[in-house]
Amino acid sequence: MAAHPVSPLAPATYPELPAIPGVRFATAEAGIKYKNRTDVLLCTFEPGTVVAGVLTRSKCPSAAVDWCREHLAGGAARALLVNSGNANAFTGRKGREAVALSAQIVSDALGVPEETIFLASTGVIGEPLPAEKFAGVTDALVSRQAEGPWMDAAKAIMTTDTFPKLASATVEFDGVEVCISGIAKGSGMIAPDMATMLSFVFTDAPIAPELLQRLLQPAIDMSFNAVTVDSDTSTSDTCLVFATGKAPIAPITTAADPRAQVFADALFDVLHALAIHVVRDGEGATKMVSVNVEGATDDASANRIARSIANSPLVKTAIAGEDANWGRVVMAVGKSGEPADRDLLSIRFGDLVVAEAGERAAGYDEAATSAYMKGEDLSITVDIGLGQGRATVYTCDLTHGYISINGSYRS
Amino acid sequence: MAAHPVSPLAPATYPELPAIPGVRFATAEAGIKYKNRTDVLLCTFEPGTVVAGVLTRSKCPSAAVDWCREHLAGGAARALLVNSGNANAFTGRKGREAVALSAQIVSDALGVPEETIFLASTGVIGEPLPAEKFAGVTDALVSRQAEGPWMDAAKAIMTTDTFPKLASATVEFDGVEVCISGIAKGSGMIAPDMATMLSFVFTDAPIAPELLQRLLQPAIDMSFNAVTVDSDTSTSDTCLVFATGKAPIAPITTAADPRAQVFADALFDVLHALAIHVVRDGEGATKMVSVNVEGATDDASANRIARSIANSPLVKTAIAGEDANWGRVVMAVGKSGEPADRDLLSIRFGDLVVAEAGERAAGYDEAATSAYMKGEDLSITVDIGLGQGRATVYTCDLTHGYISINGSYRS
């Protein structure tokens, strides 16, 4: 009944992320909330580093989100400070003061302008963030700046996460290897839809900030915006991409440059891998599910139907119970409000056709379907039968573990 | 951890519903799915009975819903056949045949036109309904028609319900008492929003069917459409109101008749009481919560915000854990996408102000708030601070019981 100490869907091994020229970092125990674990990450970037980002569209964003939104326009980044244990969200004037104090502490320690410092906070909502605690660890953080290990950075930003989340990709331009590495955190309050949970991506590519921003949004839409754990959108969703420009190649400045698409594809690979890690660490998750909708009137409609299925508590509890309950899938299609004709629907679990033309498939095989549902990685595909629209949304099951985690933890 | 055999929020006593002149009924065990319990209800109405109804707006409605939608236009009703154990939803051609056969069996037994027979089914989705089983019990159902007891009718339509749901109201016109009595079923897959779960209401008022329909919709909007158990909208939501016209008063034919509003208010009282019963029997529920939003830009916006809070799994698990986690309420306001200004929000749990002007209230009292959360009937009130829009949505907590019920039962 209890939640697993480590998600059963955690990866068997973790990648060794390479150093990114121009990026250094360190972690520390500031004692914001947790004891005996790191809870603060300070990354520093060499001059010339640019930044792009996507932030939550929640109408009640955290103070750090407001700060980032204001300073992303500048496009220049020299530092990133992230803490776990306190989201500094819904903290009013105190929240703005905590953000200002955080930026000032880092600015003083590094001698860089406050507007080049980016901030993110994750943890409990509504508690004032004791930003003065950062001052006590800043000297240590600055003196220990190093190019690795990335695992330490990934661990320092965890909250209810049961495993650290890292991903990396490399592309070669003119014989030069360019790296893109990222970390993320997130386990509950995950339905980014509009932005993402906390994720930080680093590259040595020399790329114009406007172009980076332009490449980022579609990659986010197909990765973090395509996952949901519990339909609850965080106040703190933040994805920032820092590009140091240290790779010795000609700068990539326009979308017309063929390297831009190659870079965008690699960026997507990193974001997608991180997003999948977030679902696989969904609070209480024991099954990973990709919900595919095809044949909808258009892609947007397919996405709304897929999301309706992926967010349905009845679908998610059925998956937890290893029950191929396609009736609940039909229900979720119906409640989405999107164009659908009951008598054209067909539904597959994996490759097994369970329903066709609006009723149970003639060849429905209960034993085979039940056996399939015992797997850890499942796919549900619904063909609406009306058009060419398609979408995929990734989710997990809804288990006793989710209730245990969230019925007792003020996060 | 397990679900309660009877909801802890069940009423202590049940009302004795009066006989409604012109309405008789009986129940039977047709063996559709359940063993050793009644699963079919046949109500018969004297000539002159009119009917109004509201049906699910699911794009994948059950075959019985389609049948009712087609025949509501006629406005005349002579019988109602309801079964539990099988929803006859997503059953394709077989579903339409089962509906036709059901109507034919009842029509033959009673000698009334098929178009005056109303049908409703609730239970598993996707299984063909063995309507031929009705034939085996019809003679008994017809011979046992009686004016009571209503408790039997309420029990025959239950599925995962843990208690029967009944409500009644009387109004006096010209010294004559007019009765309105209703029954309902519903426990999971409850987010009617557009219509309702199964609910049947009976009155002896002489009222024009067009007027009855016109009075019904706003009453539904404030009752069944204001409750949510799990955000999942059923394929079978049906509310039908039958008026026999047997009360010896002048017919009520127009909304201008002052009796129309008196009747509408009493009808609302019955529907609201039934809707609250449905929430109090929400699958796994241990707390009843009314979510009140005020100060929104308009009522529709307030409703969407209230629904976002009431459907949030994080809010609902916090309530289950007796945690006054108003940070999650802020999150749910933010994710609704409705106009809101974080720094104007205030939040109350019961009468206790927990947050004001976008941060924890100065007088926040953790002990008092924790004590309040131990109660069974809770209210959460959010003042958006922007306008005059208000709405209330009723919901329950999300517990291990919900997971247990839905992770193992193919409904």
Domain ranges of chain B: 23-279, 288-406
**How long is chain B?**
411
Q: At what angle do helices B299-310 and B313-320 cross, to 10 degrees?
A: 60
Residue A281 CA to residue A229 CA, distance in Å, equals: 9
DSSP state, residue A225 = G
Q: Is residue A164 within 8 Å of A387, Cβ to Cβ?
A: no
| Mean pLDDT along residues B28-52 | 94
| Partner residue opposite B327 with nearest CB, options A126, A328, A337 | A126
pLDDT at site A116:
96
Mean pLDDT of chain B: 90
Residue-wise pLDDT for B133-179, tens only, equals: 999 999 999 999 999 999 999 999 998 888 998 999 999 998 999 99
| In this structure, CATH architecture of domain B288-406 | Roll (3.10)
How many other β-carbons are positioned within 10 Å of the β-carbon of residue A2?
Answer: 10
Which of chain B's residues have a Cβ under 8 Å away from the Cβ of A92?
343, 357-359
pLDDT at site B411:
42
Q: Using 50, 70 and 90 to split pLDDT, how confident is the model at A384?
A: very high
| Mean pLDDT along residues A342-349 | 92
Going by C-beta distance under 8 Å and a sequence separation of 6 or more, which residues neighbour residue A77? Answer: A45, A49, A50, A51, A116, A117, A118, A240, A242
Phi–psi pair at B143, nearest 5 degrees = -70, -25
How close, in Å, is residue B184 to chain A by CA atoms?
20
The domain B23-279 having CATH identifier 3.40.50.720: the answer here is no
Which of chain B's residues have a Cβ under 8 Å away from the Cβ of A314?
188-189, 230, 232, 406
Which of chain B's residues have a Cβ under 8 Å away from the Cβ of A90?
327, 330, 342, 345, 355, 358-359
pLDDT at site B255:
93
pLDDT at site A1:
40
How close, in Å, is residue B33 to chain A by CA atoms?
16
How close, in Å, is residue A403 to chain B by CA atoms?
6
Q: Is residue B324 within 8 Å of B354, Cβ to Cβ?
A: yes
Burial class (CB in 10 A: 0-12, 13-18, 19+), B408: middle
pLDDT at site B195:
44
pLDDT at site B102:
97
Enumerate the active-site residues of B.
196
| Mean pLDDT along residues A357-362 | 88
pLDDT at A195 over 70: no
pLDDT at B395 over 80: yes
Domain A23-280 - what CATH class? alpha beta
Going by C-beta distance under 8 Å and a sequence separation of 6 or more, which residues neighbour residue A54? Answer: A195, A196, A216, A217, A220, A238, A239
Q: At what angle do helices A63-72 and A92-110 cross, to 10 degrees?
A: 50
Mutation target vs A (from B56, B403, B408, B410; most A CBs, 10 A cutoff): B403
Residue-wise pLDDT for B270-311, tens only, equals: 888 888 888 888 888 899 999 999 999 999 999 999 999 999
pLDDT at A2 over 70: no
Q: Using 50, 70 and 90 to split pLDDT, how confident is the model at A410?
A: low
Annotated binding site of A for substrate: 159, 185, 196, 283, 406, 411
pLDDT at site A191:
61
**A59/B337 CB distance under 8 A:** yes
Residue-wise pLDDT for A290-327, tens only, equals: 999 999 999 999 999 999 999 999 899 999 999 988 88
**B233/A331 CB distance under 8 A:** yes
Q: Is residue A162 within 8 Å of A6, Cβ to Cβ?
A: yes
DSSP state, residue B319 = H
Which residue has 């969904």 as its token pair? A282
pLDDT at A371 over 60: yes
**B314/A233 CB distance under 8 A:** no
pLDDT at A193 over 60: no
Going by C-beta distance under 8 Å and a sequence separation of 6 or more, which residues neighbour residue B342? Answer: A59, A60, A61, A90, B330, B334, B358
Q: Is B147 annotated as a binding residue?
A: no
User: Mean pLDDT: which of A196-210, B39-53, B187-201 is highest?
Assistant: B39-53
| CA-wise closest residue to B121 among B238, B209, B204 | B238
pLDDT at B193 over 50: no
Which of chain A's residues have a Cβ under 8 Å away from the Cβ of B327?
87, 89-90, 124-126, 410-411
pLDDT at site B229:
75
How close, in Å, is residue A92 to chain B by CA atoms?
5
Going by C-beta distance under 8 Å and a sequence separation of 6 or more, which residues neighbour residue B262? Answer: B171, B173
**What ipTM does the predicted assembly reach?**
0.79
| Partner residue opposite B403 with nearest CB, options A339, A400, A411 | A400
| Partner residue opposite B126 with nearest CB, options A330, A338, A403 | A330
- β-bridge mates for residue B183, sequence order: B166, B200
Percent of chain B with pLDDT over 90: 62
| Partner residue opposite B126 with nearest CB, options A90, A314, A360 | A360
| Mean pLDDT along residues B193-206 | 75
Long-range contacts of A262-267 (CB under 8 A, 24+ apart): A262/A171, A262/A173, A263/A171, A263/A178, A263/A180, A263/A205, A263/A207, A263/A215, A264/A215, A264/A218, A264/A219, A266/A169, A266/A170, A266/A171, A266/A180, A267/A169, A267/A180, A267/A201, A267/A203, A267/A215, A267/A216, A267/A219, A267/A241
* Residue tagged active-site, from A27, A196, A233, A381: A196
| Partner residue opposite A320 with nearest CB, options B58, B231, B407 | B407
Residue A93 CA to residue A81 CA, distance in Å, equals: 20
Which of chain A's residues have a Cβ under 8 Å away from the Cβ of B353?
none
pLDDT at A343 over 60: yes
